[in-house]
Structure 1
Amino acid sequence: MPRVDPWNEDSLIWRIPVVDSESGPIEGPDVDPPVPWVKALAAVGRDLRCLRYGRYVDTDKLVWDLSINGDYYVFVGWQSIRGIGGFNTGGGLTMDASFGEAAAWIAEVVQDNLAGYEFVQWPSRGSHLLVPRLRSAEAVWIDPHGDVTICPIGTLCEYADR
């Protein structure tokens, strides 16, 4: 019987806790997801705990869906649970993206989803949003009023009171 190569399947899908991604996938194929993507999901999940403004949403029990299609493009999202809607989007970056590229892209996708469908500004204190960007290969939060780097993505809670 020939050995099955999971990377040649139509798509691979892992389910990973939003905040506790360090523990690894809770469901998925027998191959590990790309490490930079798992670390990027964990970083954005940590930042989701801070500076949300607007309607209350509980993100602590959400589970990321990380999928890679047959062309090696990545899709991320989560399923709806406890008053927050689900989403799934992607196709712009491949599984070979760096941590910085993945983290900046995931943060932007989540920010757009929360603002557009959940009426939540994140990250924000209610006046304007910080924006995720890639600067010198590092994923960071930028204050667009002055183009000032605030902090690396994944460390937002450490800077929330500044």
Structure 2
Amino acid sequence: MNAEQLTQTKTDISIIADYNSMRSSQVLFEEQCQLKRFLTYSEILIKRFTVDNINMPLIEEMTKQLVALAELCFTDKQDGGKRKFNVKTQLQSVLNNTKQTISEKIADAFLDQTIDKVCKEYSKQELIEFATNIMKLGNKVAKGCLKTCFQD
């Protein structure tokens, strides 16, 4: 390999490295945007459902909405385990902020069962359609909702 070929090879490697770096940054940015989108909408849902005496039907309905939202926001971005983790984190915060005396271990098992139940009852496509409808509705009233939901 002569000096010219060596220089060209180094340039090619540099271009590939730059492209790979740019691509990984883009993927990371997209994932962070999806997470931000999920967290924004899930906060709105949680504000709607967080009440003093939250009951099982409310938890199930919120779980359905959060799972649907996660399916929509994280489609082809993260595996099911990470989606489930995000949903569980949100629901755990609800249980922690209510007056229920539920141990952490029981809460984890309870949330796992509730999420699994929702996933069994609805297909992924049904959940995505459900979340899309929620978000369309949410977009219409987002400014007003965000103002009222997050006022102290």
- Same fold per superposition (TM over 0.5): no
Task: Find the structure with the greater CA-based Rg.
Answer: 2
> More strand per residue: 1 or 2?
1
> More helix per residue: 1 or 2?
2
TM-score (norm 2): 0.31
